[in-house]
Structures are given as structure tokens and as C-alpha cells.
């Protein structure tokens, strides 16, 4: 059972989660990059990240993730078309990070609106298909000798610009999750084993009291 202090901490983090900010990792193959991106996503309040991977799975989490995978949901899609359609259906504008002439400076984007940032593989970058489906291509200007950044560094630079804009707009000052999602996520974070058991039995989660403790019915 989590302590009241722990429940308070979980609620504090959930209060700042941003359901309309996310990343889509397209074939990011190195576990340490994958984990580092999730860690930055957690730090800016991403609730759910997205991935497509040729193996149909995702790179194994490296210990550098500091267990962050527990706090950022990961939705794996079979291909990039499905992933981008899913995001657009949910109202996200999709921004493909690309070192191309068509790309605009990443700071020109309004990240206070629903935004999904597509990150490409270490070797090949974002695919032409993903770029064609995206609403815009964005780039972090490179003024030195290196042609590109490490993918997790690029992710952090863009996500923290999104965080800067959202802080300025007051989006971390009020709860952004709808009440049902808030209760569901709080239960899954606070009582992961219980949540797994109830899901496997096809049973609903119990209501939570004001502190986040489950209220089990006596029937």
C-alpha cells in the first residue's frame, strides 16, 4: 500500500500531465535512446508516448530510464500510417523532425495546442512516408560541423520548448486529465498489481477517496 505521502506525490505529477502532448518514435532502435526519450517525455508531462518498431515490439528498456516506463504509457502501433492516423483522429497536429529544406524552425510551432513530435531512427531518420503524413516538418538548426543531433537530445530540445510554452500558458497550473482518466491512471500508478488483477478478471477499478485510497464495496 502506498503511503499518503506517496499518493500525494503521484497526484502532484498527475495534476501536471499533458494528455495533448506526445512523441511518436519511428523505429528508434537503441534502448538507451528509447529510454532517454521516455524520460524527457515524463519530465514535460507526457501521459502516453507512441512507437512503431520493425520487430513489432520496442527496444528493451535500459536502466538509464530509471523505471520511467512505469509513468509514461506506451502505445505501440503496427506501422507509421496507423500511428499517425491514430494521433490525427485524436486531434493532434503531427510534427516530423527532419533535416530537410522543407522543415521549419522547431520554435515556430505552437506547442500549447495538441502536438505530437515524430522522432526518427538513429540511422535513417523519419521516413518519407511519415513526413508526407505529418502536418509539418520541423528542424533544430545545426550551426556546427555535425549534421544532426542524437535523437534523444533532439527530443529533449523540442519537448522542453513545448514545456516552456506550456508553462507560460499556464497549462501546468490546472488538471488537464478528465476525471475518469485521472482516477484510472492514479489507481494504476498507485496499485499496479491490483490494477493488473482486476483487468485480467475483467472487473472495474474501485472508486478512490480524496487521498487516492480505494474504497472497496462490502458486497
- Give residues in contact with ligand SAM (CB under 6 A): 97, 99, 119-120, 122, 125-126, 139-140, 142, 148-149, 151, 154
Distance CA(152)–CA(129), nearest Å, equals: 21
Q: Which is nearer to ligand SAM, 47 or 158 (CB)?
A: 158
Q: What is the DSSP letter of 204?
A: P
Spatial neighbors of 12 by CB under 8 A, at least 6 apart, are: none
Minimal distance, residue 189 CB to ligand SAM, in Å: 29
Q: Are β-strands 21-26 and 115-119 bridged in parallel, bridged antiparallel, or unpaired? A: parallel
Nearer to ligand SAM, 74 or 140 (CB): 140
Task: Please say which residue, 141 or 202, places its beta carbon nearer to ligand SAM.
Answer: 141
User: Residue 166: what are its φ and ψ, rounded to 5°?
Assistant: -70, -35
CB of 115 to ligand SAM, least distance (A): 14
Q: Which is nearer to ligand SAM, 21 or 177 (CB)?
A: 21
Nearer to ligand SAM, 65 or 127 (CB): 127
User: What residue number has its CB nearest to ligand SAM?
Assistant: 125
The dihedral built from the CA positions of residue 97, 98, 100 and 105, taken in this order, carries a sign that is positive
Least distance from ligand SAM to the Cβ atom of residue 78, Å: 20
Range list of β-strands (E), the chain: 21-26, 48-52, 73-77, 93-97, 104-105, 115-119, 136-139
Q: State the minimum distance, in angstroms, from the CB of residue 43 to ligand SAM.
A: 18
Amino acid at each position: 500500500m502506498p503511503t499518503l505521502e506517496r499518493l500525494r506525490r503521484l497526484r502532484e505529477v498527475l495534476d501536471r500531465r499533458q494528455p495533448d502532448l506526445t512523441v511518436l518514435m519511428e523505429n528508434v532502435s537503441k534502448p538507451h535512446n528509447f529510454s532517454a526519450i521516455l524520460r524527457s517525455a515524463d519530465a514535460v508531462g507526457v501521459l502516453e508516448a507512441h512507437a512503431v518498431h520493425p520487430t513489432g515490439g520496442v527496444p528493451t528498456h535500459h536502466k538509464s530510464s530509471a523505471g520511467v516506463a512505469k509513468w509514461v504509457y506506451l502505445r505501440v502501433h503496427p506501422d507509421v500510417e496507423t500511428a499517425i492516423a491514430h494521433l490525427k483522429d485524436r486531434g493532434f497536429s503531427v510534427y516530423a523532425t527532419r533535416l530537410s529544406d522543407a522543415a521549419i524552425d522547431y520554435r515556430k510551432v505552437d506547442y500549447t495546442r495538441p502536438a505530437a513530435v515524430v522522432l526518427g531512427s538513429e540511422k535513417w531518420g523519419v521516413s518519407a512516408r511519415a513526413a508526407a503524413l505529418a502536418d509539418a516538418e520541423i528542424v533544430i538548426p545545426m550551426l556546427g560541423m555535425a549534421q544532426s543531433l542524437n535523437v534523444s537530445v533532439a527530443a529533449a530540445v523540442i519537448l522542453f520548448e513545448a514545456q516552456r510554452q506550456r508553462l507560460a500558458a499556464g497549462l501546468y497550473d490546472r488538471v488537464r486529465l478528465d476525471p475518469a482518466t485521472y482516477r484510472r491512471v492514479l489507481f494504476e500508478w498507485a496499485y499496479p498489481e491490483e490494477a493488473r488483477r482486476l483487468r485480467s478478471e475483467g472487473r472495474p477499478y474501485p472508486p478512490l477517496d480524496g487521498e487516492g485510497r480505494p474504497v472497496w464495496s462490502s458486497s
